[in-house]
Amino acid sequence: MKAVGYIRVSTDEQAKRLSPEVQEELIIDYGSRSGYEVLNVFRDIGVSGSISLRIRPGFQQLLDFCLRNNVKVVIALSLDRLTREPDDLDYIAELIQLHDMKFITIYEGEITLEKISRTETRFKTYFDKEYRAFARERTFTIMHASKKLRFGIGKLSQIVKTDDEFTQLINKIINDFKSGKAIYKIAHETGLTEKQIKFILWIFDLWTVNPSKCPRCGSGKIERDKEYRGFIRCRHCGFVYPLTKTTWDKMLQSESDRLLLNKLYEPYIVKLIEIRQTVINSTLGGGHHSITQHLEKT
């Protein structure tokens, strides 16, 4: 069955904690597991939940797409991504009745007319501080349970399909960065996000990250990992990384440690770590310039 996704984030702080990319990953994953083909994902960025659905540009584009393409199912992360206003519940009920639409949230399930009726009576307390804290923890739990979201670098594996394509992409990123091109331009040209570009540059020691923040998501919620000695774990995105990246280089020399790398990370992150070690082994104090030289040769 055909479906569309809907994403909303209201503030920069919320975008960091529950980014549009994370919401989209969860929506597409939910759709594939539930038998829905997600044709498109519509976004309202910087839009408060108190703004009516009737005037949100992203939601109105979604509605227009659904009506033109006979799509009946809308998937969102949670009810608070759709709305925080009682009037909007009436609007959703109207769409369900007039157009036979189905609204589904990953957290609450299908938003039926009966559920709307029950929710309206307790809507004033539905989004109190205690509930928001609970919802936030629930989001982190879901994120941490997904290896793809915890340790992947998003759509990189969708952009490159072979080792040669991967090497060429890394070569382009590093060359463009060293030539002075802005991060946002590199991201636009490669199809990756700025955060993913910085993460790749960080692995090659070309980007400095605040030691008190996670190099993958930028969160300050990091701590010493209890399972792996000498590693740091981000409590926000779940990324695990060593105190010093030379630990990765040493791990590649042991078969058992290589198995651990494959357990912790997706193949393309392991590939980045392997390229990093190859560069180190093939150069003598060549610095960052040697990284680019090596990639050009491969």
User: Which domain, by its residues, includes 172?
Assistant: 155-297
Residue 150 lies in a domain: no
Of 193, 191, 18, the residue nearest 107 (C-alpha): 18
Which of 84-93, 135-144, 236-245, 277-286 shows the lowest per-residue confidence on average (mean pLDDT)? Answer: 135-144
Same domain, 131 and 160: no
Q: What is the mean pLDDT of residues 161-190?
A: 85
Q: Which of 145, 175, 207 is the last residue of a domain?
A: 145
Q: Are residues 126 and 184 in the same domain?
A: no
| Residue 33 is assigned to a structural domain of this protein | yes
Shared-domain flag, residues 50 and 162 = no
Same structural domain for residues 111 and 176? Answer: no
Q: Are 238 and 136 in contact (CB under 8 A)?
A: no
pLDDT at 240 (0 to 100): 87
Residue 271 maps to a domain: yes
Would you tell me the crossing angle of helices 57-69 and 86-99 to the nearest 10 degrees?
10
> Does 260 share its domain with 127?
no
Domain CATH for 139? 3.40.50.1390
- The answer to whether position 237 is within a domain reads yes
Residues 117 and 173 in one domain: no
Q: Count of H helices and E strands in the chain?
A: 17, 8
Handedness of CA 257, 259, 260, 266 (dihedral sign): positive
What are the pLDDT digits (tens) for 23-70?
898 899 899 989 999 999 999 998 888 888 999 999 999 999 999 999
Q: Number of folded domains in the chain?
A: 2
Residues 209 and 178 in one domain: yes
Do 199 and 190 contact (CB within 8 A), yes or no? no
Of the three residues 145, 180, 211, the one that is the final residue of a domain is 145
pLDDT value for 68: 95
Determine phi and psi for 103, rounding to 5 degrees: -105, 125
